Amino acid sequence: MTVIDATTEENPQIANLPRVYAGAPDSVAFRKLRKRILRQTQDTVTRFGLDGARKDGRPQRWLVCLSGGKDSYTLLAALLDLKWQGALKADLIACNLDQGQPGFPKHILPDYLESLGVDYRIITEDTYSIVTDKVPEGRTYCSLCSRLRRGILYRVAREEGCDAIVLGHHRDDALETFLMNLFHGGRLAAMPPKLVNDEGDIFVYRPLLQCAEKDIEKFATAMGFPIIPCNLCGSQDGLQRVATKRMLDEWETRSPGRREVMFRALQNVRPSHLADGRVWDFLGLDKS
């Protein structure tokens, strides 16, 4: 990547990079890790058209969704890094949804974001009570919680004039979703790097989609991010996603590199070798 020569007056977010990496280790291993995450993130941005520019050339405005977990912290750091290097045009506003979980440390994200000088907005919506009230005992919270959260984020994105909400899903999330859809949903679907919502007015971007979770874990640990654990879905046992993750871990142990091969498969689809007449015209095939 090419580092541009720019001043903080030309781009105020240039100043954020030293702050983001203030506590990072100065080691060859960490520099390689950071470079790998940035290379993969920038490749996703380039290949799938997440460059952050509107059709008229003006920068898009992105609502960067922060949960306080390792993935969202890494997402913000990578985006600030790419902006510092001139590889991303979008203007960023960080957003956290305080869902009303008991004991949620409300000060951590505002304190962290203010230390970086990043624009942010904290939304307080008690979805916790709704989820725990509506979901029967023994069932998982994830589906309802996700729908409520996404609806709120779309609303906030519109209020802030944002073109996209940006999520921290990574390669392993996509593979787990693919297998869950395959085994439990009866469909071939994962997580795309880019989509448009049903209303057609907001993009959903996933710039970390090529990044491995193990790299993100190492990066977050090295950076010393103030992680906030999820005590809603994270407190439940027997989640399908947990079981799927364990299965992938077992496969990876027996056959190292399995996740990488599977992710390549998501980018190498052959509709003619499946059985869906909606995406391949089997009736119209002609041997001549």
Residue 272 Cα distances to 266, 280, 287, 288, angstroms: 15, 6, 14, 17
Reading the chain (288 residues) residue by residue, the pLDDT tens digits are: 433 333 334 455 555 666 899 889 989 999 999 999 999 999 999 999 998 788 888 999 999 999 999 999 999 999 999 999 989 999 999 999 887 677 788 899 999 999 999 999 998 877 666 666 555 565 565 665 667 778 889 999 999 999 999 999 999 999 999 999 999 899 999 999 999 999 999 999 999 999 999 999 999 999 999 998 865 554 444 478 888 999 999 999 999 999 999 999 999 999 999 999 999 999 999 886
pLDDT of the residue at 137: 61
Residues 26/34, Cβ–Cβ less than 8 Å: no
**Closest by Cα among 16, 122, 153, 30 to 77:** 16
**Domain assignments of the chain as residue spans, ordered by start:** 23-268
Confidence (pLDDT) at 233: 52
In this structure, the number of other CB atoms found within 10 A of the CB of residue 237 comes to 6
Q: How far apart are CA 131 and CA 136, in angstroms?
A: 9
Name the CATH superfamily, with its identifier, for domain 23-268.
HUPs (3.40.50.620)
Looking up tokens 């089997």, which residue turns up?
282
Amino acid 4: pLDDT: 36
